[in-house]
Each structure stands twice: as C-alpha cells, then as structure tokens.
Amino acid sequence: MAHGMTNGNADVFENLRLELRRGCLILAVLGTLRTEQYGYTMRKSLAEHGLAVDEGTLYPLLRRLESQGLLVSQWREEDKRNKRFYRLSADGESILEQLLAEWQGINASVNGIVGAQILNIEVEDGQGKGIDRSLLAGR
C-alpha cells in the first residue's frame, strides 16, 4: 500500500496503477521480443528491468499479441524440454516503432503537464528516490 493511504484510496490507486501499467507492459513485451525468447526467460528479463509480471498475465498477453499478428512463435526443444519461443513479426516491428513514438509523445506531454509536481515530489523525498529521473527530462 502506498504511504499514508486509506484502504479505499489504496484500492483506487491499485486499480489506476494496473490501468497505467497495462499499456506499458505491452510496449515492454514487444520491446523484449526483438530478440527471440520463451515465456520464462521473458518474465525474468522483464523482472530484472523492474517490470515483474506473473505468468497469468504474460501468457494470455503473448497469445493475444500473436493472434493480432505482432508476434510469431514456434515450439522447439532446448535443454531436453519443449519450449515455445516468441519473437516480433515484421508487423510487430512496425507497430512497436509507432507505439514507441506515441509513448514518447505522451511522455513528453505528461512531463510538460506534471513536471513541476514531479520536481516537488523529488524535493520532498530528499533525493527523488524511486522516481525515474528520465521523467524529469521533459520539464
């Protein structure tokens, strides 16, 4: 639970956080799959980059992206076990480029709008701990 929140507020925050995360996760997954990976290593890779995702979220998302033609997959044996490897399709590459451009545009806009607030949080928090400093670049 976030600091100083009531239970009701914490629920609202959690819902909004998940909503915000949902779109970002798609970007991260598409970005990760520029190189071929299977589900488990993909989860580890995302977690190492601070974007932990459970299998109940990742695998349905992979299937959805594949059904939309953004990913291709194949079953292959590795370490004596069958694994399903995913990678970005040609359409996926193109969509990812467009989405990244969109993401950067949104990011710049949001930074322009809330940049001052982010600065205040950083000052209150001492070192701006926990805030991605790249967010401050837009102000």
Partner 1 sequence: MDKEKGLIARYLQAVRFWLPKEQQDDIVAELAEELQSKIEERESALGRKLDEAEIAALLKQSGRPMVVASRFRPQESLIGPVLFPIYVFVLKIVALCYLLPWLLVLIGIAVWKGSAGMPGYFFSGLGTFWTLIFTSSGVVTIVFTVLERVPREKFLDDWDPRKLPTVRVSDRGQIKRSSSIAEVIANLLVVFWWLNLSWFNSLVFPVGVHVVLSPIRHYFYWGFLSVALLSIALSVTNLLQPYWTRTRSYMKLGLDIAGSGLFCWVVKARMLAEVIWPNVSAAKTAEVVAAINTNAARSFPFAVAACVLIVVLADLPRLISSRPSGSQKLNGVHVAS
Listed ranges 4-12, 27-35, 37-45, 88-96: which one lies at the site for partner 1 (CB under 8 A): 37-45
By the rule CB under 8 A, 84 interacts with partner 1 = yes
Cβ proximity to partner 1, 77 vs 124, nearer residue: 77
Question: In whole angstroms, how far apart are CA 44 and each of 32, 38, 40, 74, 91?
Answer: 11, 10, 6, 20, 25
Binding partner 1 (rule: CB under 8 A), the pick from 11, 14, 55, 91 is: 55
CA 78 to chain centre: 27
Sheet containing 37-38: give its strands across.
Answer: 37-38, 81-88, 71-78
Interface ranges with partner 1 (CB under 8 A): 38-40, 54-57, 59-60, 63, 75, 81-84
